[in-house]
Structure 1
Amino acid sequence: MMRIAILGATSQIARDLIVSFSAEEKQHLHLFARRPDEVAKWLASAGLSGRYPVDDFSEFAKQKFDAVINFVGVGNPAQAVAIGNSIFDVTLRFDELVLDYLKTHTACRYLFLSSGAAYGSGFNEPATRDTPAVVAINNLAPHEWYGVAKLHAECRHRAHPELHIIDIRVFNYFTRTQDIDARFLITDILRAIRDKTVLKTSADYIVRDFLHPSDFYGLVRGLLAAPPANAAVDCYSRAPIDKPTLLAAMQEQFGLRYEITEATVGVNATGSKPHYYSLNTRAADFGYQPGLTSLDGVLIEAREVLLLASESVGV
């Protein structure tokens, strides 16, 4: 049995992974968070009460683990804006917590939730294995702080080739448990459908690659099962989707009404990224094979989001 520490168990992507792991008995999870009571309440609501121990971070170093997965951070553009420059301190603090642990538990694996933003804020083209990280060092803007914090963490990890660390760069992730009030294009779309309003969106052409929870789970399982390594992998689905195709699909499937406007709409907390996805398929070297396209995953999860929304208002 593999003993796995989940750091930042209040994050949505962490919770989805915990639910996925709960279907099997081969892993023993120990959950850590700044608000353990909140995690315990969530476990009860998910039908997992008492299934996993929950503690604050002060208990982490006292335990022995085969793997640590670090989810600590922000997963919402508005949160990224609100947290401001403290993103550097938060990222460093919890990353060093794990790195110190690895120095005395050298066989332990470490999966760090990084971001596609570590490449920089450009993305006029999708990332590839040869794409360099670009940092405007002489003119660093606040929307770049999040990506730079992740880049700094990745640099620290590569500086310890003797440790088993893999950085997982998440680009776009969508789940039925997503906070529908978050300011992403996909949540803006779902609110418009739910509220029967007209979505106002810019004419900007963008391409996104939405990772489904099942494929994220498959990626994590593959990384934990593969021979130990010190590397970084990008997340990807079977195929990305562009904005016009996404809008048309949501109109066809759910009756979305939308209007193209000239003004920029939304929150660009990490910068405008026309092609925010990756063609870097190094994850395949670890056995990862995505099962769903972006559109497949969005439609599956959107149906559940909208069904729950309709049930909550008694429709």
Structure 2
Amino acid sequence: MFDKRFLNIAILGATGHIAKNLIVGLSSKKQYQLFLFARSNERLASFLIENGITEQVHICEYKQFQQAAVYDVVINCIGIGNPQELINNPFNVFKITEQYDNMILQYMQMTPDTIYINLSSGAAYGSEFEMPATSDKYLKLNINSLSIKDYYGISKLNMEAKHRSLNNFRIVDLRVFGFFSAYIDLKSKFLLTEVIEHIRTGKILHTSSENIKRDYVHPEDFLRLVEFCFDDNVQNDVYDVYSLKPATKFEILDYFAVEHGLKYEIEANSAYDSITGSKTNYYSLNEKALAIGYHPCYTSLQSINSGYQQFRMRNKNENN
């Protein structure tokens, strides 16, 4: 086994939203060497320079993955980050997911002690969230009438099933329900990016009366959970990712209205629509991660508050 004090960590999809936060958090600790893989090394290099990350990081090509180093940990952050991409090319969610997952699994055949941490999604539970996820939630799927809203979740479920079948390997899936930070891609179509866009333009945000509930894990909490997965007591398993408390849509909108001048209006006849399903209560009550030491410190609103403050500061510095 490897020395837990010094780890070689490969991060795939290194320019993604969550990956950027992991890079910032992990690079601040001297015991980690990071091997970063991204489609655009130019964008990755710019991100590292902007954040003053110059030591313990190595920018790599995907074609070098098998030969670049011996990785103690591989973190797979590759995925469809923007729902619009799913509409434009739904097959890609299967193609990309399979391609890189299989590449990592092939590598693990040669290095069976490697820990593989995969970013899964709450969508693996399906597209219906009239009630939040629990440990005994069943997947409801009409296999004779599949649509775009099913594809993302099926791709994640397929990965998880593959990983559980390989029970001799240390593979951990982390089901992320919501994540927000200063590194959010404003081109992605989510509730919070809509809010930010309307604050920036001063336009009125029109929304339905449906008070959906969402959960946004704080980057610090997520980093702690990832590091818990390095431990020997964590083997082949899956954990839901959750904050200290989820937030309703109107709690979020009222926060931005009071603190940042958001203007919004409720349209009685409109309905909330999501590419991946209605998801009225898209969060989890499955707190299995408590068993490995995970105790979130931040609520969803606290995560949103700190993330948006950092977002404003980051964009202010970039514009100066």
TM-score (structure 2 length as normaliser): 0.93
Counterpart of 1:19 in 2: which secondary structure?
helix
CA 1:307–1:40 in 2, change beyond 3 Å: closer, same or farther?
closer
Cross-structure match for 1:193:
199
Q: Please report how far the alpha carbon of residue 265 of structure 1 lies from its aligned counterpart in structure 2 after TM superposition.
A: 6.1
Q: Which of 60, 74, 89 in structure 1 is aligned with 2:65?
A: 60
Cross-structure match for 1:82:
88
Cross-structure match for 1:205:
211
Report which stretch shifted further, 187-196 or 41-50: 41-50
d(CA) in 1 for partners of 2:63 and 2:317?
Answer: 40
Cross-structure match for 1:38:
43
Is 1:260 paired with 2:266? Answer: yes
Deviations 1:154-181 (A, max 9, x none): 0101111111001011111000111223
Cross-structure match for 2:294:
288
Q: Which of 4, 9, 25 in structure 1 is aligned with 2:9?
A: 4
d(CA) in 2 for partners of 1:240 and 1:85?
Answer: 32
Question: Is contact 1:212–1:292 with CA below 8 Å preserved after alignment?
Answer: yes
Q: Which of 156, 165, 171 in structure 2 is aligned with 1:165?
A: 171
Counterpart of 1:136 in 2: which secondary structure?
coil
Q: Which of 47, 67, 84 in structure 1 is aligned with 2:52?
A: 47
d(CA) in 2 for partners of 1:69 and 1:309?
Answer: 28
Q: Which of 2, 23, 31 in structure 2 is aligned with 1:18?
A: 23
Cross-structure match for 2:115:
109
Is 1:250 paired with 2:252? Answer: no
Q: Which of 61, 71, 76 in structure 1 is aligned with 2:77?
A: 71
Structure 1: stretches of 5+ with no match in the other structure: none
Q: Please report how far the alpha carbon of residue 225 of structure 1 lies from its aligned counterpart in structure 2 after TM superposition.
A: 2.6
CA 1:83–1:42 in 2, change beyond 3 Å: closer, same or farther?
farther
Q: Please report how far the alpha carbon of residue 280 of structure 1 lies from its aligned counterpart in structure 2 after TM superposition.
A: 0.6
Report which stretch shifted further, 213-222 or 301-310: 301-310
Is 1:143 paired with 2:149? Answer: yes
CA 1:313–1:194 in 2, change beyond 3 Å: closer, same or farther?
farther
Aligned residues: 313
Q: Please report how far the alpha carbon of residue 127 of structure 1 lies from its aligned counterpart in structure 2 after TM superposition.
A: 0.3
Question: Is contact 2:75–2:117 with CA below 8 Å preserved after alignment?
Answer: yes
d(CA) in 2 for partners of 1:305 and 1:201?
Answer: 23
d(CA) in 2 for partners of 1:2 and 1:285?
Answer: 23
AA aligned opposite 1:237: S
Structure 2: stretches of 5+ with no match in the other structure: 1-5
TM-score (structure 1 length as normaliser): 0.94
d(CA) in 2 for partners of 1:38 and 1:175?
Answer: 18
Cross-structure match for 2:3:
none
Report which stretch shifted further, 251-260 or 305-314: 305-314
Counterpart of 1:24 in 2: which secondary structure?
coil
Report which stretch shifted further, 138-147 or 187-196: 187-196
CA 1:239–1:88 in 2, change beyond 3 Å: closer, same or farther?
same
Cross-structure match for 1:298:
304
AA aligned opposite 2:270: A
Deviations 1:75-116 (A, max 9, x none): 222223223112111101111111111112111110011000
d(CA) in 2 for partners of 1:50 and 1:83?
Answer: 38
Deviations 1:265-315 (A, max 9, x none): 66x22112000000011111111111100011111112232345566677x
Counterpart of 1:54 in 2: which secondary structure?
strand
Is 1:182 paired with 2:173? Answer: no
CA RMSD of aligned residues (A): 1.7
Counterpart of 1:278 in 2: which secondary structure?
coil
Counterpart of 1:74 in 2: which secondary structure?
coil
d(CA) in 2 for partners of 1:39 and 1:307?
Answer: 20
Percent of pairs identical after alignment? 36
